Chain A
Amino acid sequence: MSPSADAAAPASTSGPPLAPLIAAQLSYLLSHSKLPIKVEQIWSGCRNGRYSDRFTLSIPFCLDYVHWDFLYNALAPKVAPDVVFGPDDEGFQPLVDYAEAGSGDKSCLAGWDYRDPRGLLALMHELRELYVEYHKKQVAKVDDARVTFELSTVLSKEGIEVCMVPSADRPEEVKFAVPLLDVDFDFAKLVPGCPWKLPQKIHLQVIFPISRSSSYSSVPSAPRLKLISTPDLKSLFSVEDEKLPPWSNGMCLAEYLPALEESLNLRVVEASASIGARRRFIEALAPTFGRPIEADPIFCREATVLSISGIFTFLVHFAIPLQFPRQQPALTLQSSQHLNADGTPIMSLPINDYPWSPRWDQAEMVERIYDFLTDECQNFKKFCSDTITQQK
């Protein structure tokens, strides 16, 4: 995980550094936001400005990103920034929303304090929330009874986001980003020593086609479904490997989601238990293979041991899959005595077709791998010698 100092470094800076007060606000946002915000570019509003005072942020929305420009003015530092939204969002006018609501609520822009480093984060949050509400209203206007019905059943879910899917060459669609599992489900609690800095989430992406001539006689087609997780979660649990429950004809989200969440809960608990199983496996290597040279202590996906057969010394790298023990570790051997033509030590391909049963206990798993390696390392040694001979 890169420290927060790295997170403040923009993807591309083609100009002078940010004015200090603006930099303080951006830095605060990047280190305190619970969302993975990225800085796309930073530039100056003046041709030969001493400081940069404008930047583009990529802000997650509905399992995608929107790109908003924040325009400060280094020559007028007390003034709050302007914000430019994307080209498809002409209709999004957040300050007008406040006026129309007539509730006396004000934007944080009304009390803007240019010296407060928290200003930008507050503004970004506020605008994003209004943006989410704006899109909910857009989708609510869609003339499709099924979509309207589905929306009504999930609108109360905390964190739900919806939007239209614009498309030039396809009939329009609507996307729902449905957060799964409890809103305060903390994946990090499943990982002792967890290094994640941001909260992790799994969403179900649901894409409904819009059929404006909604006739009640036809059965609505199944939506496109996809599980999407935040990136860090992949080291615990791979949504790609998850088979979604089938969507039967005439089903709706209200029926589909509980079954999905129940199954997901079980799989997540399994994934967490697998860390423990992997940890114990690595620990079980020591009596047979000697103390591992190095091992991954948090997700327990890798361990390396140093072995010797006669006078041939070699490393064995264990790559332990997420579905351990159902899936077996892949073994890669690396010679300490043979080099490729490019100067790198000769390595085997990963080996994962050796005898294996998830029902063995850890000690037996280790012993079986040891037995396998007593022969395999001879093959590997021969492979190394042959490779060297072929290089001449």
Chain B
Amino acid sequence: MDPAPPVAATPRYSLPPVRRPEEDILFCVDVDLEALTEMKPPAAASASGPSPGSASTGSPQQPAGAGGAARPALRRLDAVKQALLLFVHGKRKICPGHRFAFASLGETVSMVKKDFSSDPGSAMEAVHSLAASGSRYETADLTPLFKIAYQEGKRAESQGRLLRVILIYCRSSTKPHHQWPVKPKNFTLDIFYLHDKPTADNCPQKVYDALVDALEHVSQYEGYILETSQGLARVIFREMCILLSHPMQRCIQDDLDIPKQVAKKTLATEAAQNEDGTPVSSQQ
């Protein structure tokens, strides 16, 4: 644990007695062909990793630890689905009143489960029903998503609740677009961008920039845009946990300091040399 105080003037965390509305969270999951990209198998990563006993990232039926020759590859959408359930259970543990709905994004948005509910069983059903179509979509039109979010945002506000949209996007070459006019902002937008590493044939940076623009255009409170090209399921789970944060209690993304290492000093130094790259930022 680093005893030195932070150099930059990050505002100190405070918890003023301001009402924390319960959330209605709409997940919008990309079901383009790229959602079927294979993830990196966990065993390969743990060979030189600092922590002993690799954590199982697959479903309970998959064997934990190294080896696993006959195991089917985990795909992005599989990891995303697990991450969604992880999110739902985590959020319910924090506060049982938070509710969830689900949509998918092909060329445009279609609702999978449009009624917000805190029931974990129906969330599981909705998540399991998400399926990639196997086609590569030419476009990704976010306009209907914003329209739905805006309507639900009004409804949520009248009920003293807060609407949030979490968009999970998987395409490395297709920029999303929208024709959403300037309107009162009544929902928060978070984005989780899973993409391939940049090559001559794709443009994840351009896609990322378009996603940032969309977020800044519509988000009421500070929305987070997280990304990974690592192909590691545990990174997806970790990033989804960051998105658990309540929009009204957030710091700006630049000041994000979680997750923080809980380790004795020497181990902390080792773990700090983590194998995950630094995130793609809009400045690069």
- A residues apposed to B, CB below 8 Å: 3, 191-193, 195, 279, 282-283, 286, 288-298, 300, 302, 304-313, 315, 317, 332, 334-341, 343-345, 347, 370, 373-374, 377, 381-382, 384-385, 388-389, 391-392
Q: Which residues of chain B come closer than 8 Å to A384, judged between CB atoms?
A: 55
Contact partner of A297 (CB less than 8 A), chosen from B15, B85, B240, is: B15
Report B-chain residues with C-beta under 8 Å of the C-beta of A195. 19
- Give CA–CA (A97, B26) in the complex, Å: 60
Whether B56 sits at the interface, judged by CB under 8 Å, is: yes
Judge if B264 is at the interface, Cβ distance under 8 Å. Answer: yes
In the complex, B132 has a CB within 8 A of chain A: no
Q: How far is A14 from B1 in the complex, measured between Cα atoms in Å? A: 62
A302 (CB) vs chain B CBs: closest residue: B94
Closest A residue to B234 using CB positions: A337
B241 x A336 contact (CB < 8 A): yes
Query: Does any Cβ of A come within 8 Å of B53's Cβ?
Result: yes
Q: Are A385 and B55 also in contact (CB < 8 A) when A306-B242, A310-B50, A315-B90 are?
A: yes
Q: List 30 A-B contacts (CB under 8 A).
A: A3-B159, A192-B17, A195-B19, A286-B13, A288-B1, A291-B245, A291-B251, A291-B258, A292-B249, A293-B94, A294-B245, A295-B249, A296-B20, A297-B18, A297-B20, A298-B19, A305-B258, A306-B244, A307-B260, A307-B262, A308-B238, A311-B49, A311-B50, A313-B234, A339-B60, A339-B82, A381-B53, A388-B64, A389-B64, A391-B60
Quick check: B249 and A337 within 8 Å, CB to CB?
no
> What secondary structure prevails in chain B residues at the interface with A?
loop
The answer to whether A336 and B234 have CB atoms under 8 Å apart is: yes
Of the candidates A283, A308, A317, A373, the one whose C-beta lies within 8 Å of that of B94 is: A317
- Which of B4-38 touch A at CB < 8 Å? 12-20
- Within the complex, the shortest CB–CB distance from B175 to chain A, in Å, comes to 30
When C-beta atoms are compared, the residue in chain B nearest to A194 turns out to be: B17
Q: Which of chain A's residues have a CB closer than 8 A to the CB of B20?
A: 294, 296-298
Q: Which residues of B contact A294 (CB under 8 A)?
A: 20, 94-95, 244-246, 249
Any A CB within 8 A of the CB of B86: yes
B116 contacts partner chain A, Cβ-Cβ < 8 Å: no
| Pick from A297, A308, A335, A382: contact of B53, CB under 8 Å | A382
Report which residue of A292, A296, A335, A345 has the largest number of chain B beta carbons within 10 angstroms of its beta carbon. A345
Q: Is A385's CB under 8 angstroms from B53's CB?
A: yes
Given contacts A334-B93, A391-B60, contact A310 B86 (CB under 8 A): no
Q: Mark B204-245, 1 if CB is under 8 A from A, else 0.
A: 000000000000000000000000000000100110111011
Task: List residues 119-177 of chain B with CB under 8 A from any CB of chain A.
Answer: 120, 124, 159-160
Chain B residues near A313 (CB-CB < 8 A) = 234, 237-238, 241, 259
Say yes or no: is B263 at the interface (Cβ < 8 Å to chain A).
yes
Total interface residues on B, using CB and 8 Å? 59
Q: How far is the CA of A305 from the CA of B237 in the complex (A)?
A: 15
Q: Assess whether B43 is interfacial by the CB under 8 Å rule.
A: no
Smallest beta-carbon distance A193→chain B, Å: 3
Q: Is B281 an interface residue (CB 8 A)?
A: no
- Given A305-B258, A313-B241, A389-B64, do A337 and B15 touch, yes or no (CB 8 Å)? no
Tell me if B67 is interfacial: C-beta within 8 Å of chain A: no
A contact residues around B240 at 8 Å (CB) = 336
Residues in A whose Cβ lies below 8 Å from that of B90: 304, 315, 334, 336, 345
Query: Given that A339-B59, A381-B55 are known contacts, is A193 also in contact with B18, CB under 8 Å in the complex?
Result: yes
Distance from A144 Cβ to chain B, minimum over Cβ atoms (Å): 49
B40 at the interface (CB under 8 A from A): no
Residue from B15, B124, B242, B260 within 8 A of A295 (CB atoms)? B15
Q: Closest chain A residue to B45 by CB distance?
A: A311
A69 vs B271: C-alpha distance in the bound complex, in angstroms?
69
CB-defined contacts of A340 to chain B, threshold 8 Å: 60
Q: Which residue of A lies closest to B264 (CB)?
A: A374
Q: How far is the CB of B71 from chain A (nearest CB, A)?
A: 12
5 A-B pairs besides A317-B93, A373-B262 with CB distance below 8 A are A289-B262, A291-B255, A307-B262, A309-B271, A343-B124
Shortest 7 CB-CB distances between A and B: which pairs? A310-B51, A193-B17, A286-B13, A192-B17, A290-B260, A290-B258, A308-B259
A-side contacts of B267, CB under 8 Å: 310
How far is B274's CA from A317's CA once the two chains are assembled, in angstroms? 25
Closest to A391 in B: B60
Asked if B57 CB lies within 8 Å of chain A CBs, one says yes
B75 at the interface (CB under 8 A from A): no
Report yes or no: B261 in contact with A308, Cβ–Cβ below 8 A.
Answer: yes
Does B257 lie within 8 Å of A290, measured CB to CB? yes
Is there contact, CB below 8 Å, between A293 and B15? no
Are B262 and A293 neighbours in the complex by a CB distance under 8 Å?
no
Partner of B244, one of A283, A293, A382, A385: A293
Cα A288 to Cα B13 with chains together (Å): 11
A residues within 8 A CB of B1? Answer: 288, 370
A384 to B89: give the CA distance in the assembly, Å.
16
Q: Which of A191, A298, A374, A377 has the most C-beta atoms of chain B within 10 angstroms of its own C-beta?
A: A374
